[in-house]
Structure 1
Amino acid sequence: MPARILDLNGRVALVTGGSRGIGRAISLALASCGASVAVNYRQRENQAADVVAEIERLGGRALAVRADVSLGSDVTTMIGDIEQRLGPIDILVNNAGTATMIDIDDLTEAEFDQTLAVNLKSAFLCTQAVLPGMRSRRWGRVVNLSSAAARGPGLVGIHYNASKAGLEGLTRGYAARLARDGITVNAVAPGPIDTEMAGPLKASNVAERLPVGRLGEAGEVADVVMMVIGNAFITGQTIPVNGGASFI
């Protein structure tokens, strides 16, 4: 039997942190399958507008929407704006994140709190906001962008490890409670990916230690996100995309 082509025509997707890197690749992949895409950003308005323009050039529908997704009030306003302009949200990709490298001796309470707010709390806020609609339609896809650091030592710091490990716990908790509603919830955990945030990874020569001998590409992460969106029998899972850095 030939592989199915993912058809997302009529679906609306929200990608948080969708203006660059992995988020940009996911936004473009969703649009290529027919979804209307809301590209969330906090500061990078021009880059978000570029993603929207690229989607529109290909004949798709998209909008850029500013919000700090670690704030409940911003999330509520954002969801209302998207639903008014594009329609109810069927697909949520919680990609927004922060990754400031800080050693344990220099890590402050404020930085720890901020990292968990952006990387973990935002996924909770956005998921809670879209669940009523998904439940009423009995169809939904939530994909959380975790990290190899959730299950390993990582290079960024313990604040980042904790936030991504929490995100995987959030994934499993939601998945168990929403499966009978037609909603799948999964995590995708990239290893070292060649984006503009990869400077420290390149400086540490991490690519040479990977079995594949190179950093990953944002499009390779997007491919896996699309795979779990297209499969209704995968839920509560974390899919590693790490070039063989670990085997789970």
Structure 2
Amino acid sequence: MTNSADRVAIVTGGSGAIGSVSATRLAADGLAVVVHYAGGRGRADEVVAAIRADGGRAVAAGGDVADETEMADVFDVAERAFGGVDVLVHTAGIMPLAPIAQMDLDTFDRVQRINVRGTFVVDQLAARRLRAGGAIINLSTSITRLQAPTYGAYAASKGAVEALSLILARELRGRDITVNAVAPGPTATPLFFEGKSQELIDRLAAANPMERLGTPEDTAEVIAFLAGPARWVNGQVLYVNGGAA
């Protein structure tokens, strides 16, 4: 594996809560970072500026994660700016909630397009273009185990993400590239708080033995571990939820 100062990471959804913290955390370890965004260019630029202000290397690049041409361009940006790609951290995704009986099918299709096809697209590019010693880290969710009502479409999409991750790990035999999924529990992000009452937030926070919500930093620490020293962790789903399940 190359020295961390020579390693390059693409963080999809890098303008979001977990993505931006993960990008900053990887940059602190010495990796050059491509901060990907879909619609949040301004926030991605802020993340890049903060990384550079701390002496790190970063650029922003936009694209629809489910569009193979646009995401190939993101990999091209990484190669032009930094010489190659070693790490893919795929945090981009959406989470509309509704009971299965009530969810609009167009919404269901949009969840699967972004969360499942998007993962397939970026993982396929990573499988083709990552250098030896690389790491692919996909974001799943602890909801696949907690089975909370209204999360049916989202959980279905993340179950697919886990299956893709574990199969890709085995398909990359001999390449020295690890593939894992990280599955956070309830995490204090704007996406999590949206539409929830304080009573529900408090109940979810108390559900794990640590009696608090997770933070983006909790997840970013696990991502940094998998991106760097964790070369013997491969083909796994790591649950980052304070012991909720």
Task: Tell me what 1:132 maps to.
Answer: 128
Q: Could you tell me how far apart the structure 2 residues matched to 1:214 and 1:102 are?
A: 25
In the TM superposition, residue 203 of structure 1 has moved relative to its aligned partner by: 4.7
In the TM superposition, residue 240 of structure 1 has moved relative to its aligned partner by: 0.5
Task: Tell me what 2:65 maps to.
Answer: 69
Matched, 1:187 2:186: no
Segments of structure 1 that go 5 or more residues without pairing to the other structure are 1-5
Matched, 1:152 2:146: yes
Correspondence list, 1:40-59, <5 A: 40-59=36-55
In the TM superposition, residue 169 of structure 1 has moved relative to its aligned partner by: 0.4
1:28–1:55 Cα contact (<8 Å) kept: yes
Range with bigger deviation, 185-194 or 173-182: 173-182
Of residues 30, 34, 44, the one that matches 2:30 is 34
In the TM superposition, residue 154 of structure 1 has moved relative to its aligned partner by: 2.9
- Aligned in 2, Cα 1:155/1:30: closer, same or farther, shift over 3 Å? farther
1:139–1:182 Cα contact (<8 Å) kept: yes
- Aligned in 2, Cα 1:34/1:113: closer, same or farther, shift over 3 Å? same
Range with bigger deviation, 124-133 or 168-177: 124-133
1:171–1:236 Cα contact (<8 Å) kept: yes
Percent identity reads 33
Of residues 23, 35, 41, the one that matches 2:19 is 23
**RMSD between superposed Cα atoms in Å:** 1.6
The one-letter amino acid of 2:158's match is K
What TM-score does the superposition give when structure 2 sets the normalisation length? 0.92
Task: Tell me what 1:3 maps to.
Answer: none
Q: Could you tell me how far apart the structure 2 residues matched to 1:241 and 1:155 are?
A: 20
- Aligned in 2, Cα 1:48/1:155: closer, same or farther, shift over 3 Å? farther
- Aligned in 2, Cα 1:166/1:201: closer, same or farther, shift over 3 Å? farther
Task: Tell me what 2:110 maps to.
Answer: 114
Q: Could you tell me how far apart the structure 2 residues matched to 1:79 and 1:87 are?
A: 10
Task: Tell me what 1:212 maps to.
Answer: 210
Task: Tell me what 2:136 maps to.
Answer: 142
The one-letter amino acid of 1:159's match is A
1:147–1:164 Cα contact (<8 Å) kept: yes
In the TM superposition, residue 167 of structure 1 has moved relative to its aligned partner by: 0.5
What TM-score does the superposition give when structure 1 sets the normalisation length? 0.91
Range with bigger deviation, 193-202 or 12-21: 193-202
Task: Tell me what 1:164 maps to.
Answer: 158
Q: Indicate the SS of the match to 1:70.
A: coil
In the TM superposition, residue 130 of structure 1 has moved relative to its aligned partner by: 2.4
- Aligned in 2, Cα 1:156/1:225: closer, same or farther, shift over 3 Å? farther
Q: Indicate the SS of the match to 1:180.
A: coil
